[in-house]
């Protein structure tokens, strides 16, 4: 994919700012506690290569710790959990109550479910006083993000906003950055007007107007683009150009609405596939795979429709009893939102159904035909993808589903994809998979049988072009296509100017310092801190918790989270190191006097 000649490198104009609810880390339950680990989430994996470029900042939401130990059952993420020395991550703290209502109630209990057409027992059912209060927190969280970005006073080249948690943000940013390009990518399916009307009028109008603060709105598929345009036209009465996929605002500004199908990084996937961890997972799974195997890999979430998939497997065994004892169903179910009651209820319902089906067939099979791996172990799932006969995705509604693309690249048996027509990836795999109605137990069971009995050469005839299509449109292409819309290229890091390099290293000065001012080193003192550090030739680092942060980067200083009473090591290396350390020490003291 070529970059237009008019595109300008980000370093010429300022910082590209990524804004997402998520930071670079996920949370895994280990030894009775939540542990922060590098995220395997699709959103994070796609934006991280951009985030590692120079002059790119990543703002994310974090929660201040709840007020008592009894509240720790609710999963939250703190600033310390999201810092990463290789990234310019700027965590924006939210009070624990606001964080829970903005994220847990509005984003997950309402918007996620509505976008996935979940209006049922495990879905969006009603709005009460609690949810109306939570709506105010959703808006407040977005306001605090916008204010935190503004307060850094960094020159912004463009904004890349991610997902449904931040629908109002673009309009808020537009007030402070009227000329700055903004692109908001939505990773989940966008609902039709009739579905969006299940939100109160003021809410749905606020969400749409918030998105129209962008220059470009990115969605997964052409169907999502049509849904968004229809919502703008029907709900807001906006002028829409269906041919050009644009919304024309009363101000005369035009908002472009585009499809950027999400994808994966084949090189990174191959590296993981060849790792020692994946080799170990293959050995551990060997006894579970059996003669024939069906697998699914998805979060344990009502939108993934797992119960229907297990019912279809039961029906397969009824239709083809000769398969009993020869075929296994391996379900890799990733824990999801376990702090929300409805997700726990859904998990329990899934397990009850699995136990019922296993009790019917285990004696005849000599084993449980359905085996569950309730884990976030990606290498384990990857090993199963390699050698399964059938890969099932029967979500009721899905944005894209990147697991399908991973499976297609690693499958070597080869396997067959059974996918519901309402999944985003179904369009890309239309002639290369068995497509089913997400709720059709009988139809899915018959697709299982067709896939299991399909000759190897027919399977290969589908899998080869599917692989080729994925390799033609990777996560890199997904990202570049969005940057093209904003006329941005990202250069390699420029070398440090030779005339600014210290001629010699005459020692290293390390002082332990303490932040004494009440508000800590927030945006304004951070700017002064960085200006002071940049006035010296020596290298200056902040060492905190074993992690090094550059004292000459405002983003790095903010990422260090230098709150009141924080102790850190100031390390200066170079010809003027002692003078630099003394000047910064005096600056910290002046902050204390100015801010109390």
The 3-class SS string of 357-417 reads HHHHHHHHHCCCCEEEEECCCHHHHHHHHHHCCEEEECCCCECCCHHHHHHHHHCCCCCEE
Which has the closest alpha carbon to 294: 314, 272, 270?
314
Do 266-472 and 8-263+479-489 fall under one CATH topology?
Answer: yes
Neighbouring-strand partners of residue 296:
331
Candidates 3.40.50.20, 3.40.50.2000, 3.40.718.10, 3.30.420.130; CATH matching 8-263+479-489: 3.40.50.2000
More confident position, 32 or 100: 100
Query: With 80 as the cut, is the pLDDT of residue 8 above it?
Result: no
pLDDT of the residue at 77: 55
CA distances, 531 to each of 360, 527, 552, 587, 590 (Å): 71, 6, 7, 11, 15
N-terminal to C-terminal alpha carbon distance within the chain: 55
More confident position, 200 or 592: 200
User: Under 8 Å CB-to-CB from 162, ≥6 apart: which residues?
Assistant: 18, 19, 20, 21, 22, 43, 47, 184, 185, 187
Could you give the angle at the alpha carbon of 150 between the alpha carbons of 177 and 162, nearest 5°? Answer: 75
Query: With 90 as the cut, is the pLDDT of residue 129 above it?
Result: yes
- What is the layout of strands, in order, in the sheet containing 182-185? 89-94, 56-63, 15-20, 156-162, 182-185, 216-219, 254-259, 246-248, 239-241
Strand pairing class (156-162; 15-20):
parallel
pLDDT tens, residue by residue, 281-323: 999 999 999 899 999 999 999 999 999 999 999 999 999 999 9
pLDDT of the residue at 121: 72
pLDDT of the residue at 2: 29
pLDDT tens, residue by residue, 446-472: 999 999 999 999 999 999 999 999 999
200 vs 205: CA distance, rounded Å: 9
Task: Check if the beta carbon of residue 532 is closer than 8 Å to that of residue 570.
Answer: no
pLDDT confidence tier of residue 594, bands split at 50, 70 and 90 = low
pLDDT tens, residue by residue, 542-562: 988 777 888 888 777 887 888
Task: List the domain boundaries for the chain.
Answer: 8-263+479-489, 266-472, 498-595
371 vs 42: CA distance, rounded Å: 25
Q: How many CA atoms are closer than 13 Å to the CA of 402, on its beta-carbon side?
A: 23
pLDDT of the residue at 37: 56
pLDDT of the residue at 10: 46
pLDDT tens, residue by residue, 523-546: 778 878 888 888 777 889 898 877
96-100, 169-173, 180-184, 518-522: the lowest-pLDDT one: 518-522
pLDDT tens, residue by residue, 466-505: 999 999 999 989 999 999 999 887 544 333 333 333 333 3
Environment class of 122 (CB within 10 Å of its CB; exposed 0-12, middle 13-18, buried 19+): middle
Query: With 60 as the cut, is the pLDDT of residue 172 above it?
Result: yes
Q: Does the structural domain 266-472 have CATH classification 3.40.50.2000?
A: yes
In sign, the C-alpha dihedral spanning 340, 341, 345, 351 is positive
Query: With 60 as the cut, is the pLDDT of residue 69 above it?
Result: no
| Arithmetic mean of pLDDT over the chain | 86
392 vs 539: CA distance, rounded Å: 54
Query: With 50 as the cut, is the pLDDT of residue 3 above it?
Result: no
pLDDT tens, residue by residue, 343-393: 889 999 999 999 999 999 999 999 999 999 998 889 999 999 999 999 999
476 part of the active site: no
pLDDT of the residue at 26: 57
How many residues would you count in the chain?
596
195 vs 117: CA distance, rounded Å: 7
Query: With 70 as the cut, is the pLDDT of residue 42 above it?
Result: no
295 vs 308: CA distance, rounded Å: 14
159 vs 129: CA distance, rounded Å: 34
355 vs 83: CA distance, rounded Å: 41
In sign, the C-alpha dihedral spanning 191, 193, 194, 196 is positive
Task: Check if the beta carbon of residue 8 is closer than 8 Å to that of residue 28.
Answer: no
Environment class of 160 (CB within 10 Å of its CB; exposed 0-12, middle 13-18, buried 19+): buried
pLDDT of the residue at 244: 96
Task: Check if the beta carbon of residue 521 is closer than 8 Å to that of residue 557.
Answer: yes
20 vs 18: CA distance, rounded Å: 7
The secondary structure of 244-309 as a DSSP string is TTEEE-TTS-EEEEEE------HHHHHHHHTSHHHHHHHHHHHHHH-SEEEEEEEES-GGG-HHHH
Query: Span 125-154, mean pLDDT?
Result: 94
Choice among 320, 326, 476, 522 that is catalytic = 522
56 vs 29: CA distance, rounded Å: 31
The secondary structure of 411-468 as a DSSP string is --S--EEEEETTBGGGTTTTTSSEEE-TT-HHHHHHHHHHHHTS-HHHHHHHHHHHHH
Share of the chain above pLDDT 90, in %: 61
Task: Check if the beta carbon of residue 523 is closer than 8 Å to that of residue 59.
Answer: no
pLDDT of the residue at 13: 62
Task: Check if the beta carbon of residue 37 is closer than 8 Å to that of residue 25.
Answer: yes
Query: What's the farthest any 2 CA atoms get from each other in the chain?
Result: 82
Query: With 50 as the cut, is the pLDDT of residue 71 above it?
Result: no
Cβ neighbour number for residue 507 with a 10 Å cutoff: 12
pLDDT of the residue at 496: 32
> Which CATH architecture does the domain made up of 498-595 adopt?
2-Layer Sandwich (3.30)
């Amino acid at each position: 994919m070529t970059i237009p000649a008019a595109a300008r490198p980000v370093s010429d104009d300022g910082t590209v700012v990524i804004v997402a609810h998520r930071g670079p880390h996920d949370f895994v339950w280990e030894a009775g506690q939540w542990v922060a680990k590098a995220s395997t989430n699709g959103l994070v994996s796609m934006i991280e290569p951009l985030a590692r470029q120079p002059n790119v900042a990543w703002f994310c939401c974090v929660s201040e710790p709840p007020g008592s130990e009894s509240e720790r059952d609710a999963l939250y993420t703190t600033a310390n959990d999201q810092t990463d020395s290789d990234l310019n991550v700027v965590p924006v703290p939210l009070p624990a109550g606001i964080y829970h209502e903005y994220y847990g109630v509005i984003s997950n209990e309402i918007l996620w479910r509505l976008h996935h057409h979940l209006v049922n027992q495990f879905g969006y059912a009603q709005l009460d006083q609690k949810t109306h209060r939570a709506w105010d927190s959703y808006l407040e969280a977005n306001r605090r993000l916008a204010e935190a970005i503004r307060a850094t006073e960094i020159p912004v080249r463009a904004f890349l906003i991610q997902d449904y948690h931040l629908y109002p943000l673009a309009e808020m940013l537009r007030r402070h950055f009227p000329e700055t390009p903004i692109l908001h990518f939505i990773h989940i399916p966008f609902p039709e007007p009739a579905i969006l009307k299940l939100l109160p009028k003021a809410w749905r109008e606020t969400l749409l107007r918030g998105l129209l603060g962008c220059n470009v709105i990115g969605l997964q598929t052409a169907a999502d683009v049509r849904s968004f345009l229809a919502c703008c036209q029907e709900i807001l009465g906006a002028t829409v150009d269906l041919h050009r996929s644009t919304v024309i605002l009363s101000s005369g500004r035009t908002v472009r609405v585009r499809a950027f199908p999400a994808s994966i990084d084949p090189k990174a996937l191959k590296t993981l596939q060849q790792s020692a961890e994946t080799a170990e997972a293959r050995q551990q799974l060997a006894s579970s795979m059996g003669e024939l195997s069906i697998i699914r890999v998805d979060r344990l979430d009502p939108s993934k429709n797992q119960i229907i998939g297990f019912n279809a497997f039961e029906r397969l065994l009824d239709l083809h009893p000769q398969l009993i004892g020869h075929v296994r169903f391996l379900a890799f179910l990733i824990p999801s939102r376990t702090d929300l009651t409805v997700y726990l209820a859904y998990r329990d319902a899934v397990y009850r159904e699995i136990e019922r089906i296993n009790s019917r067939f285990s004696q005849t099979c000599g084993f449980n035909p359905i085996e569950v791996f309730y884990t976030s172990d990606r290498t384990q799932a990857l090993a199963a993808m390699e050698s399964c006969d059938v890969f099932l995705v029967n979500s009721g509604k899905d944005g894209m589903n990147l697991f399908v693309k991973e499976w297609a690249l690693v499958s070597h048996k080869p396997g067959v994809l059974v996918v519901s027509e309402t999944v985003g990836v179904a369009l890309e795999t239309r002639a290369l998979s068995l497509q089913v109605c997400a709720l059709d137990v009988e139809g899915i069971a018959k697709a299982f049988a067709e896939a299991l009995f399909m000759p190897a050469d027919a399977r290969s005839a589908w899998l080869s072009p599917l692989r080729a299509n994925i390799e033609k449109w990777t996560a890199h292409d997904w990202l570049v296509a969005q940057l093209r819309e904003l006329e941005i290229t990202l250069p390699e890091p420029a070398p440090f100017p030779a005339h600014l390099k210290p001629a010699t290293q005459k020692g290293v000065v390390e002082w332990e310092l303490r932040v004494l001012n009440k508000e800590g080193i927030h945006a304004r003192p951070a700017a002064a801190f960085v200006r002071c550090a940049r006035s010296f030739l020596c290298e200056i680092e902040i060492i905190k918790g074993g992690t090094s942060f550059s004292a000459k980067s405002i983003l790095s200083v903010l990422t260090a989270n230098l709150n009141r009473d924080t102790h850190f090591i100031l390390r200066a290396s170079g010809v003027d190191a002692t003078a630099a350390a003394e000047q910064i020490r005096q600056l910290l003291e002046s902050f204390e006097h100015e801010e109390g």
